[in-house]
Amino acid sequence: MSEARTQTSFEAVDAVLEWCLRNAQRMERLGEIEQAGLWGAVAAATAAEFGHSWLCSAPLESLLLRVGARLPGPSRWKRNAGVGSTKHWLHVFSRSQAGGHNALARRWIARNPFAELHSLVLTGQPASEMEPLLGQAIRASGGQVHSLEGTLFERAVALRELALAADVVALHIHMWDVLPSIAFAVPECPPVVLINHADHVFWVGSAIADIVVDIRDSGLKLTGSLRGVRASAVLPVPLEDHGPAPRDRSFVASRLADRSLLERDLILLTIGSPHKYQPVPELDFETTIARIVSAIQNCALISVGPDRDDALWLRIGARTGGRVAAVGFDADLASWHAAADLYLEGFPIGSYTALLEVALAGRAFVRKPYLAPPTILPVDRGALAPFDPPPDPDAYASAVIALAGDATRRDAMAQEARASVLEHHCGTRWDGRLEQLRNSIPKVHEVGLSFEPPRMPPALADYWGALHAASVSESPLAFAQRVAYGQGLRPRTDVAVQDALRKLQAHAR
């Protein structure tokens, strides 16, 4: 996608967001404050789905603060007395389901190195449907699981009141979830820590986050420069060490439609959600993989995440004579680690936690190529500092082919990477990073942005514009209208949004 087309795509979303905000402001003037908040939710959902010229919308954050200031209460929060040095954390999830940010919270809470109390509240999911292992970790710490019901305001008031029993609120929310921004829009609340598990995309919550916790260098860079936050820090993803994976392909034999793939000399592995592999200009995973498999005579590539009948993976399979296969979602990744000889991080969107887990399991890997210039989106260092990513897909393919033919080098790399991940993400060293975070949390809650967030740099906007354009099938206005109707709103297009979209369509032609 050209920079001009990306700009046009984002301008369409920008126009729709401005329309949402005009609707919200009209509801404010009419005294319909809850409907104003619902229009904020429509705006957030649209920006999260289609991308936006900003990673943080100052007008939307301001709207949510104004809406939250109109809620009743709360009683003034006081740090809990009678609990000694124990902190009570309230973890807030939009939904709890298998995935990276759920695993991050579960491992943190299950490890619980400072014997703290952890409770959890779900803003949009019944407690009975939450991921079971996370619930077990919460209850083992002595905490409780809550779920919110009712209207937007009823749930926001309930969340605010639940938070008064906690020392710290930790947000693990989805990008579009405006409920915490409304609930914590006033200073009379405990400090709010926002766990930035979606560090590469638009999200709401900057104005109510006392500190944003990033998990890697690139996220920290974007937080500090584009989100207007007051403070940020890095807490590495906590991982559980089960030792190096054995070299055994038998564990996964029953999960493959074509078991003969396991008879190949070399098993390549990639793990990620299906949308992370959709090709965009200059970052075409399909073409790169076809080249790699063609060059390595007796190999097979297995993809964990995409369904077996996923169109992209069926095409890759056809292009490679059946030597590439997707197997769908599988929670038992350890068995796939055991089967693999070499791991390939997917692109154009990587899977950071999956890559770290593979390294901890003692397997060599090739990192995804640059997604944007390193001056815009820094290379993630930390445990992966010794292992530079290739600059482009051609270099990625060359790196895979070279490692495929050098078992000694693969083994040496695997040992070095495992030691580095242990150092950064496991045991008492990780506990130390958590303690640093605990000590940096402000004593009181503040609201508001620290600075006006700027637009994304063109190179970053071009990357994200291409990704969003490849994954959506309706216009941002149609999407926003559909979401608005689902919220019980009665959307009406106005002259301003119609004119803006007509101009953009004419420009696109």
Instruction: Give strand ranges (E) for 177-277.
Output: 192-195, 211-214, 232-234, 266-271
Kindly tell me if the per-residue pLDDT of 470 is higher than 80.
no
The whole-number pLDDT of residue 192 equals 97
Q: Which amino acid is at 140?
A: A
Bond into 348 cis (ω within 30): yes
CA dihedral of 363, 368, 373, 377, whole degrees rounded to 10 = -70
Residue 347 CB contacts under 8 Å (≥ 6 apart), including other chains: 276, 277, 283, 285, 368, 369, 371, 393, 396
Same domain as 265, residue 226: no
The whole-number pLDDT of residue 227 equals 97
pLDDT-derived band at 146, boundaries 50, 70, 90: very high
Bridge partners, 300 (sequence order): 267
- Counting the structural domains of the chain, the total is 3
Domain membership flag for residue 78: no
Domain membership flag for residue 112: yes
Domain membership flag for residue 170: yes
Kindly tell me if the per-residue pLDDT of 8 is higher than 60.
no
Same domain as 164, residue 19: no
Bridge partners, 168 (sequence order): 89
Same domain as 320, residue 182: no
Domain membership flag for residue 340: yes
pLDDT-derived band at 9, boundaries 50, 70, 90: confident
Q: Are 448 and 64 in contact (CB under 8 A)?
A: no
Q: Give the mean pLDDT of 324-346.
A: 97
Q: What percent of the chain has pLDDT over 90?
A: 83
The whole-number pLDDT of residue 81 equals 43
How far is Cα 336 from Cα 253, in angstroms, rounded to an integer? Answer: 10
Kindly tell me if the per-residue pLDDT of 504 is higher than 70.
no
The whole-number pLDDT of residue 90 equals 97
pTM, to two decimals: 0.92
Bond into 442 cis (ω within 30): no
Kindly tell me if the per-residue pLDDT of 2 is higher than 70.
no
pLDDT-derived band at 507, boundaries 50, 70, 90: low
Q: What is the DSSP letter of 259?
A: G
Kindly tell me if the per-residue pLDDT of 421 is higher than 80.
yes
Q: Which residues of 459-475 are buried (b: 16+ CB within 10 A; e: fewer)?
A: ebbbbbbbbbbeeeeee
The whole-number pLDDT of residue 416 equals 98
Domain membership flag for residue 243: no
Same domain as 209, residue 112: yes
What is the domain-level CATH number for residue 150? Answer: 3.40.50.2000
Residue 209 Cα to chain centre, angstroms:
17
Same domain as 348, residue 263: yes
Domain membership flag for residue 289: yes
Phi, psi of 417 (to 5 degrees): -65, -40
The whole-number pLDDT of residue 10 equals 83
The structure tokens listed for 23 are 């609707």
Kindly tell me if the per-residue pLDDT of 82 is higher than 60.
no
The whole-number pLDDT of residue 206 equals 98
> What angle separates helix 393-404 from helix 407-425, to the nearest 10 degrees?
110
Domain membership flag for residue 109: yes
Same domain as 378, residue 409: yes
Give the model confidence (pLDDT) of 107-135 as tens digits: 999 999 999 999 999 999 999 999 999 99
Which residue is associated with the tokens 């299906």?
A: 274
- Given 440, 470, 498, which residue is the final one in a domain? 440
Same domain as 122, residue 216: yes
Same domain as 100, residue 231: yes
User: What residue numbers bound the domain in which 286 lies?
Assistant: 250-425
Same domain as 159, residue 41: no
> Which tops the pLDDT comparison, 501 or 277?
277
The structure tokens listed for 72 are 């009743």
The whole-number pLDDT of residue 498 equals 85
Q: Give the mean pLDDT of 300-315.
A: 97
Kindly tell me if the per-residue pLDDT of 3 is higher than 70.
no
Same domain as 186, residue 120: yes
The whole-number pLDDT of residue 1 equals 40
Kindly tell me if the per-residue pLDDT of 4 is higher than 50.
no
Same domain as 261, residue 224: no
How far is Cα 456 from Cα 464, in angstroms, rounded to an integer? Answer: 10
The whole-number pLDDT of residue 106 equals 96
Q: Give the mean pLDDT of 294-316.
A: 96
Q: Within 13 A of 184's CA, how many CA atoms are on the CB side? A: 33
Same domain as 412, residue 274: yes
Kindly tell me if the per-residue pLDDT of 193 is higher than 60.
yes
Domain membership flag for residue 66: no
Residue 24 Cα to chain centre, angstroms:
27
Kindly tell me if the per-residue pLDDT of 27 is higher than 60.
yes
Closest C-alpha to 116, from 137, 145, 95: 137
